[in-house]
Amino acid sequence: MRTGLRRLVPLFGLVLVAACGLQSGGAVPLPVGPGSIRPVPELDGVAITVGSKDFSEQNILGYLIEFAMVAAGADVRDLTNIQGSNSLRDAQLHGQIDIAYDYTGTGWINYLGNETPVPDEVGQFEAVREADLAAHGMVWTAMAPMNNTYALVTSRRTAQETGVATLSDYAKLIETDPAAAATCVGTEFNVRQDGYPGMARKYGIDTGKVRKQIVQDALVYQATADAGQCRFGSVAATDGRIPALDLVLLRDDRAFFPKYNAALVMRSDFAEANPQVATIMASISARLTNETITELNRQVDVDGREPAEVARDWMVAEGFVTAG
């Protein structure tokens, strides 16, 4: 277990978010100075609380916001590493978090209750932006190219042996040789309609033939790379363990999986009072490609580095900030 810079927000503090509220957060873990992001007079001393969910990518994204806002002169509080999407969302709706990165698919399906995703990335972003503003007064802006969608992977060896490159190929393999398509899936992916059940319907997979094991998400990657009990596995597409273990993403050739592009989310009152925030963050979001965020995730999940250090080093390398 990594210790040090990373904090764990207790679950019980989030369950009672409406009644008790979260604590005000901690200090930004590492110092930064201005780079291409210069001090903004309108943000000087403005209190901004930044949140994130409790996994590596989200912690990195949260720290990117924090370092940008510090360089701009804001008084930033760190409330990253909140357990679960719903807890982060509740904290934002109740005003305990001002800004966070979230995912367009999560907004459309989990927060707004839609069942059918919009297939186009920009279309999905625009749909959730309009609907969430109208329903909850939440502003979505500065969408990044990175798309942390669900996916299936296999080892390079299995891909070569079976010739499976797409989800249609995978479905055919289940039909002809179920044992050769043994699959490990995470607990949520196993039951979510944007996970295995929906994918099986879309690709005509006979679930009665599937040799499937339900395991913890973190165990899927190595188990699939070993190609023993799992020859295929469910993953998040931008996870750093995919390239580290030489796993191969299967192409979603029928465009089933929703788009999960990261975008900045703020309450409308905060966004209207501080329009400079979206302008600053747009240039950062624009550089967050799948390749970029996957590499940053790899440094945390494979190399064991702290998310705050990884985020600050990238911000410095890109010229956005300087190391304090």
Q: Give the range of the structural domain holding residue 267, as residue numbers without chain letter.
A: 13-147+260-323
The tokens describing 29, both together, are: 């873990």
Domain-embedded: residue 5: no
- Across the chain, mean pLDDT equals 91
Question: What's the pLDDT score for residue 116?
Answer: 86
pLDDT digits (tens, 9 = 90+) for 50-93: 999 999 999 999 999 999 999 999 999 999 999 888 999 999 99
Q: What is the mean pLDDT of residues 208-235?
A: 93
99/137 same-domain check: yes
Domain-embedded: residue 314: yes
Confidence of residue 194 (pLDDT cuts 50, 70, 90): confident
Q: Residue 280 pLDDT > 80, yes or no?
A: yes
Domain-embedded: residue 292: yes
Q: Residue 81 phi/psi, 5° resolution?
A: 70, 35
Q: Which helix (H) or strand (E) holds 217?
A: helix 217-226
163/297 same-domain check: no
Domain-embedded: residue 255: no
Looking at 186, 217, 249, which one is the last position of a domain? Answer: 249
312 dihedral zone (left: phi>0; alpha: psi -120 to 50; beta): alpha
Tally of structural domains, the chain: 2
124/24 same-domain check: yes
Strand residue runs (E) in the chain: 26-27, 32-34, 47-53, 75-82, 99-103, 138-141, 150-155, 183-186, 212-215, 232-236, 247-249, 262-267, 321-323
Domain-embedded: residue 1: no
* Helix, strand, coil distribution of the chain in percent, nearest 5: 45, 20, 35
